[in-house]
């Protein structure tokens, strides 16, 4: 599908409310979805995350009109390409969410050259019936819709596909009216329904393995639902058996439709997660919505059982300016410590001690992150932690704040519109100690305006 490119504006990626280190969609085409909903530069569900030959591929929905596409070599700096593929009138005029795989052995036969296996994206038609695929033979730069689409028809959507080594089969997870169904295939084209389902699930499934306490000899499966809640258990190629209750990956008010990168050749066992920061507001902007900062997921034994921890990927250090540091600062009741750090993009890392009677609050451009000995909140209901709060990490972008407590035991992702430029930390109802506080001003990931015009199919 040919599309007309907009002329890049001088302030592209530098607009007032444009996040500077969270991914947002640039305004690629003159096609308007629904002007009243500001959807020209819209994105929603992340789709088809895959790592291939040193490149992270990110796809996302534009309300089923197309899959937008961007690539990165470091999870930080992104180049948005033309949309990968567009809606299809045969299947309800839409290309909904799904996943992607690399058919390394070319079992699909979609490539005529065994030395050039296909990259395959699975998606559902807007009719919520047609399960389809598109494929690429040039590392995702151009895409072709499979001529025999749909590969099968069932009242389901949002296919997640992965290789299951013990049975030497491909597995597909599909969302079906409040439950997840499983399918298997030998060739990625012909699929067999498996006899089991997972109840109380809706949209955008993700299913993957994580090592327990970084031990690659001890692995567990993690099933993540569309609302970002997860359970840990076992998967035998047919059935997922949860061993934990359903728990939030993130407690923030803007966290939905998670997806993750795995099979990262250089880092066995690594799993990197992102999500759509749903319902953020960006008045007057040529884009709409943003994606959470990439986070490493780890599975750890705790006093309450196995839990998934989320932490910002260490690659964020590529954006660090010089640190501003405070050591062994005692915050007395009613005192305020101004944090005079230039800019509006921050990575805040604090190690602190908060007695039971005390409350510490970081005031960040009109938003409050409040901590007690056992609780964290960010303009939401307070969230409890298992142990005492001893560390907090905060990512501040122009229109988002992400908070991580105790090495990622609790995370909260939220969007906001800044109401002032203040950056302070205060203590109330007792004293507290900042054993160390580091604040890094961050550089923008959009150092250069992108001009890539790779054709889309």
Pairwise CA distance, residues 217 & 53, whole Å: 26
Determine the average pLDDT of the residues in 108-130: 97
b/e burial code for range 114-126 (CB count within 10 A of at least 16 → b): eeebbbbbbbbbb
**Residue 396 pLDDT exceeds 50:** yes
Pairwise CA distance, residues 237 & 380, whole Å: 39
pLDDT-derived band of residue 28, with 50, 70 and 90 as boundaries?
low
Burial class of residue 369 in the structure, from the number of CB atoms within 10 Å of its CB (0-12 exposed, 13-18 middle, 19+ buried): buried
Q: Are 39 and 62 in contact (CB under 8 A)?
A: yes
Which residues, in sequence order, are CB contacts of 11 under 8 Å at separation 6+? none
pLDDT value at position 88?
Answer: 78
Eight-state DSSP code of residue 165:
G
pLDDT-derived band of residue 2, with 50, 70 and 90 as boundaries?
very low
**Residue 452 pLDDT exceeds 50:** no
**Residue 324 pLDDT exceeds 80:** yes
Strand extents, DSSP E, 334-443:
336-338, 346-353, 359-364, 367-371, 375-377, 383-384, 391-397, 400-405, 410-415, 423-428, 432-442
Determine the average pLDDT of the residues in 364-375: 97
pLDDT value at position 27?
Answer: 67
pLDDT value at position 416?
Answer: 96
pLDDT value at position 304?
Answer: 96
**Residue 455 pLDDT exceeds 60:** no
360 three-state secondary structure: strand
Tokens of 329: 């600062």
Q: Following DSSP, what letter does each residue of 291-342 receive, concatenated?
A: BPPPEEEEEEEETTEEEEEEEE-GGGGGGEEEEEEEEEEEE-TT-EEE----
**Residue 7 pLDDT exceeds 90:** no
CATH T-level topology, domain 35-314: Tachylectin-2; Chain A (2.115.10)
pLDDT value at position 388?
Answer: 96
Predicted confidence (pLDDT) per residue in 44-61, tens digit: 999 999 999 999 999 999
Please give the share of the chain, as a percent, with pLDDT higher than 90: 85
Residues of the chain with CATH 2.60.120.560: 317-442
Determine the average pLDDT of the residues in 197-202: 97
Burial class of residue 104 in the structure, from the number of CB atoms within 10 Å of its CB (0-12 exposed, 13-18 middle, 19+ buried): exposed
The percent helix, strand, coil of the chain (3-state, each to 5) is 5, 50, 50
pLDDT value at position 449?
Answer: 55
pLDDT-derived band of residue 32, with 50, 70 and 90 as boundaries?
low
Determine the average pLDDT of the residues in 209-217: 98
**Residue 192 pLDDT exceeds 90:** yes
**Residue 31 pLDDT exceeds 70:** no
Determine the average pLDDT of the residues in 144-154: 97
Average pLDDT, the chain: 93
Instruction: Give how far Cα 231 sits from Cα of 282, 342, 400, Å.
Output: 33, 41, 27
Could you say which of 2.60.120.560, 3.20.20.80, 3.40.50.300, 3.30.70.20 is the CATH number of the domain covering 317-442?
2.60.120.560
pLDDT-derived band of residue 33, with 50, 70 and 90 as boundaries?
low
* 339 vs 450 pLDDT, higher one: 339
pLDDT value at position 63?
Answer: 86
**Residue 454 pLDDT exceeds 50:** no
pLDDT-derived band of residue 250, with 50, 70 and 90 as boundaries?
very high
Instruction: Verify cis geometry, omega within 30 degrees of 0, for the bond prior to 150.
Output: yes
pTM of the model: 0.95
The tally of CA atoms less than 13 A away on the side-chain side of residue 153 is 8
Residues of the chain with CATH 2.115.10.20: 35-314
Determine the average pLDDT of the residues in 449-457: 47
pLDDT value at position 97?
Answer: 98
pLDDT value at position 286?
Answer: 84
Determine the average pLDDT of the residues in 298-307: 98
Pairwise CA distance, residues 330 & 335, whole Å: 10
Please give the share of the chain, as a percent, with pLDDT higher than 70: 93
């Amino acid at each position: 599908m040919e599309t007309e490119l907009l002329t890049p504006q001088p302030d592209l990626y530098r607009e007032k409310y444009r996040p500077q280190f969270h991914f947002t969609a640039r305004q690629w085409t003159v096609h308007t979805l629904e002007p009243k909903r500001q959807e020209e530069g819209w994105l929603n569900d992340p789709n088809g995350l895959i790592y291939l030959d040193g490149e992270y591929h990110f796809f996302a929905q534009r309300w089923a009109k197309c899959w937008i596409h961007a690539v990165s070599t470091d999870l930080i700096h992104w180049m948005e390409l033309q949309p990968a593929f567009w809606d299809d009138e045969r299947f309800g005029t839409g290309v909904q969410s799904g996943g992607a795989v690399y058919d390394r052995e070319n079992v699909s036969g979609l490539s005529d050259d065994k030395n050039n296996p296909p990259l395959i994206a699975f998606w559902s038609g807007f009719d919520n019936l047609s399960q389809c695929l598109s494929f690429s033979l040039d590392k995702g730069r151009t895409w072709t819709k499979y001529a025999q689409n749909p590969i099968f028809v069932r009242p389901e959507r949002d296919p997640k596909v992965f290789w299951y080594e013990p049975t030497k089969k491909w597995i597909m997870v599909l969302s079906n009216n409040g439950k997840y169904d499983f399918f298997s295939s030998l060739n990625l084209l012909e699929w067999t329904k498996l006899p089991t389902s997972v109840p109380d699930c809706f949209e955008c499934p993700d299913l993957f393995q994580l090592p327990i306490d970084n031990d690659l000899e001890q692995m567990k499966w993690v099933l993540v639902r569309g609302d970002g809640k997860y359970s840990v258990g076992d998967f035998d190629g047919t059935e997922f058996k949860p061993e934990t209750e359903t728990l939030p990956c993130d407690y923030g008010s803007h966290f939905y439709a998670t997806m993750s990168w795995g099979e990262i050749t250089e880092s066995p066992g690594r799993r990197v997660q992102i999500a759509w920061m749903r319902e953020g507001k960006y008045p007057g902007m040529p884009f709409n919505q943003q994606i959470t900062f990439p986070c490493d997921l780890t599975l750890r034994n705790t006093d309450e059982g196995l839990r998934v921890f989320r932490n910002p990927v260490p690659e964020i250090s590529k954006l660090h300016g010089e640190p501003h540091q405070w050591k062994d600062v005692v915050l007395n009741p009613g005192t305020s410590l101004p944090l005079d750090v230039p800019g509006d993009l921050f990575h805040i890392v604090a190690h602190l001690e908060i007695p039971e009677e005390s409350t510490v609050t970081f005031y960040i451009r009109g938003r409050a992150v409040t901590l007690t000995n056992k609780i964290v909140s960010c303009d939401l209901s307070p969230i409890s932690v298992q142990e005492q709060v001893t560390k907090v990490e905060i990512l501040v972008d122009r229109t988002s704040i992400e908070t991580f407590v105790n090495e990622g035991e609790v995370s909260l992702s939220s969007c906001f519109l800044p109401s002032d430029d203040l950056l302070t930390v205060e203590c109330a109802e007792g004293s507290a100690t900042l054993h160390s506080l580091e604040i890094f001003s961050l550089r923008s990931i959009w150092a250069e305006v992108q001009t890539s015009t790779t054709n889309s199919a």
